[in-house]
Chains A and B, each alone.
Chain A
């Protein structure tokens, strides 16, 4: 089946620094990738939709200057948390769709646990 690899799985960074998270589709091309954030014991909230070769579409309330998304190729999207603060600590999950249209599913990465100290 389709595999999405997310890296790193865990990262601890100091307050004020930036952290980059990678999401790769290993065996398929993904024109669209999604970034979600999950707070402890809560559901996944969509942060942004990442389209290859164009600017990401951010959900309401998500700071685009803080959460930089780049989708430079059909197999890679990156999320950079800039000037991270403790309140950015969370579980970040990406997903990728194998094709756009009916009857397709999104394949999820393993998630990245970010802790800002």
Chain B
């Protein structure tokens, strides 16, 4: 079945540091890939997405590129802020299976001033 493997956390960075959260996936079809962010006590917010190979999703300074050859969708940001502290989930949606989403375990990011 489909699966998503995320870099284990927690990750602690200083403000303005470079962020990378690794994500790899296994899927039988041609999935769409997503990064979601969850702030404490809240639901999920879509951060960015990519729907086909070589697409780059970007939003709020975050970006991730759909790499089919390495089955990866790593999240990056050049300069993190304290307000970026949250839990980040990598997910895929298998477009051939009625749209179920499969999530990674989540990576907790803490940015210190």
Find residues 17-58 in chain B having any chain A CB closer than 8 Å to their own CB. 30, 32, 34, 36, 41-46, 49, 51-52
List residues of A (59-83) whose CB comes within 8 Å of B's CBs. Answer: none
Q: Mark A97-117, 1 if CB is under 8 A from B, else 0.
A: 100111111111111010000
Min CB distance, B30 to chain A, in Å? 8
Does B78 sit at the interface, judged by CB under 8 A? Answer: no
Contact B103 A43 (CB under 8 A): yes
Nearest A residue (CB) for B46: A105
Most chain A Cβ neighbours within 10 Å, of B44, B45, B46, B103: B44
**A-to-B contact residues, CB < 8 Å:** 6, 32, 34, 41-44, 46, 49, 93, 95, 97, 100-111, 113
* B89 CB within 8 Å of chain A: yes
Q: Which residues of B contact A43 (CB under 8 A)?
A: 89, 103-106
Given A105-B46, A106-B101, A109-B43, 15 more pairs with CB closer than 8 A? A32-B99, A43-B104, A44-B89, A46-B101, A46-B102, A49-B98, A93-B43, A100-B98, A102-B51, A105-B49, A105-B93, A106-B99, A108-B44, A108-B45, A110-B43
